[in-house]
Amino acid sequence: MVKTPIVKEGYIYIAFLALLTAIVALAAGPYWSVVPGTLLVFVTFFFRNPNRSVPEDSVLVLSPADGKVMSVCEVYDDQFLNEVGNKVTIFLSVFDVHVNRSPIAGEITFQQYTCGRFRPAYKESAGCENERHAIGLESENMRVLVTQIAGLLARRIVSWVTLGSMLEKGERYGMIKFGSCTEVIMPKTVEVLVKKGDRVKGGETIIGRLMQ
């Protein structure tokens, strides 16, 4: 979807901080502009949107987000899969890329936005209590549920897709602002290839492989 080096959702923050930095520098001197200038650099860094080398094999499931794997567990999904699957939970710090990518190529046949609280994204209860946006992707050989979960600082989940959208593997489909968590539930027919503590990259790291 969005392929610019900086996602458009960051433009207003960057413009505001750039203006503030210039005003402070002119009014009080360069020394006092260090604080807003540092914030400007950080916000620009946060909204970065790097390109990725996306593995194309249809049996692979890719990480939907950058971050650290917080848990890998077996769950029963009653939203989309309606069966027992394996859930991989990825925590995104404020230093990780926050653009989310499609883990498989397929059609969005399920979409649900849920209002909620803003607990720290690393808490186990965040996936049940916090604001979240889930999409169910369906391809010829598997179905996968991906959920964006807002965190303590994140106050808005951004989606660039809708029900019926066709996504390529690794395609950008949304983001969560300022610290968050992303969950992906895969069917049991997919072998999980990551473990707790692993670092992953959205659209690049292989987290699962369809068993044949």
Stretch 146-156: mean pLDDT = 74
What's the CATH number of domain 60-210, 3.10.129.10, 2.70.70.10, 2.70.98.60, 1.10.238.10?
2.70.70.10
Q: Which residue has the tokens 């968050």?
A: 180
What does pLDDT average to over the chain? 89
Report if pTM > 0.85: yes
User: Is the distance from CB of 12 to CB of 4 less than 8 angstroms?
Assistant: no
The predicted pLDDT at position 177 comes to 78
Q: Report whether pLDDT(104) > 50.
A: yes
Show Cβ contacts of residue 27 under 8 Å, excluding neighbours closer than 6 positions: none
Sheet containing strand 106-114, edge to edge, reads: 166-167, 106-114, 132-138, 143-150, 180-187, 83-92, 67-77, 199-200
φ and ψ at residue 39, rounded to 5 degrees? -65, -40
The predicted pLDDT at position 122 comes to 47
Pairwise CA distance, residues 87 & 98, whole Å: 20
Domain ranges of the chain: 8-46, 60-210
Task: Kindly report the length of the chain.
Answer: 212
Question: What digits encode the pLDDT tens for the residues 33-83?
Answer: 999 999 999 999 999 999 999 998 999 999 999 999 999 999 999 999 999
Q: Supply the residues annotated as catalytic.
A: 180
Stretch 114-143: mean pLDDT = 71
Q: Report whether pLDDT(123) > 80.
A: no
The rounded percent of the chain whose pLDDT value lies above 90 is: 75
Pairwise CA distance, residues 152 & 91, whole Å: 12
